[in-house]
Amino acid sequence: MKFVAVVLGLGMLLPVVAQTVQTKSADEPAWMKDMAKRHEALIARNGPGTDAALRDQLLKMKQEDQAAPERGIAKVSAEDKAKYEASANLHETDTKLTAELKEIIAKNGWPTIALVGYDASNAAMLVLTHTRDLAWQLAMLPQLEALADAGKIDGSALTTVIDKELVAEGQLQRYGSQFKVLPDGEIAMFGVEDPAGLDARRARVFLPPMAWYTQQLEQMYHVKASKQVVMATPPGPAK
């Protein structure tokens, strides 16, 4: 069985965190307060964006990406999996949006928060995450990691791309975003590098502790998370 990435996308995760922070609950965890504070500082430091037309274009692209009916499947039966993989609509959507994003980058560089605002910058990352052009996706990683380190884009939006690439290469993932559906229907996390430092590594890029994240996966996708850790399979020799 191929791995299935069960991921709380940034667009889903941050609203959950933000709503919890806004409640001002007395038992609100310290990590949540710290994440909200740093997230607000990132947005304030970069501003709302200077290119309104490009911002609107990227937000429209995000809507088109999310409108694909197959998007967001977390647990897939054999029948649904065949439909998912054969879907011309999803393939066409991803191909179209990839071409559109490449054109944007050629003219403007990568859409940073300072250029298009926070939401639109993450919309660009969403398109990159779903692209079928994996060679291009891989080639973009060094530039995007540098932008994240410089505080010009949201690092959490990049973590899924990094983890997917590492798992596809049969390596340990870095941020714990990738899970596999087991034969019994449970989900198991692919192995991560430096497991003891996982939560600290996640916190640096605006991701919640792994225990909280896994609990949200269980609730949102109605699956049980196994304590088992599975290893990614290295790709076979090129034919």
Predicted pLDDT of residue 31: 92
Q: Which residues, including other chains, have CB under 8 Å from residue 94's CB and lie 6 or more apart?
A: 65, 130, 131, 132
Q: Where is average pLDDT lowest: 24-33, 56-65, 179-188, 229-238?
A: 24-33
Give residue 23's pLDDT band: very low, low, confident or very high (50, 70, 90): very low
For residue 157, is pLDDT > 90? no
Predicted pLDDT of residue 89: 76
198 contacts 225 by C-beta, under 8 angstroms: no
pLDDT in tens, 115-128: 999 999 999 999 99
d(CA 228, CA 187): 9
Residue scoring higher pLDDT (75 or 31)? 31
Q: Which amino acid is at 211?
A: A
Alpha-carbon distances, residue 125 vs 64, 111, 118, 162, 183 (angstroms) = 14, 9, 11, 12, 31
Best-predicted range by mean pLDDT (1-5, 78-82, 129-133): 129-133
Best-predicted range by mean pLDDT (76-85, 110-119, 156-165, 230-239): 110-119
Strand order in 187-190's β-sheet?
A: 179-181, 187-190, 225-230
d(CA 148, CA 34): 18
d(CA 221, CA 84): 17
Best-predicted range by mean pLDDT (59-68, 108-117, 166-175): 108-117
61 contacts 105 by C-beta, under 8 angstroms: no
d(CA 196, CA 237): 33
Give residue 101's pLDDT band: very low, low, confident or very high (50, 70, 90): very high
Q: Which amino acid is at 27?
A: D
Residue 192, burial from CB neighbour count under 10 angstroms (0-12, 13-18, 19+): buried
Predicted pLDDT of residue 52: 98
Predicted pLDDT of residue 213: 92
For residue 201, is pLDDT > 90? yes
- Write 66-73 long-range contacts (CB < 8 A, 24+): 66/11, 66/126, 67/93, 68/93, 71/130, 73/4
Residue 156 phi/psi, 5-degree rounding, is -65, -30
Mean pLDDT of 1-22: 38
Residue scoring higher pLDDT (69 or 127)? 127
Mean pLDDT of 83-105: 81
Name the CA dihedral angle for 203, 209, 215, 216, rounded to a multiple of 10 degrees: -10
First to last CA, the chain: 21
d(CA 131, CA 211): 29
Predicted pLDDT of residue 10: 33
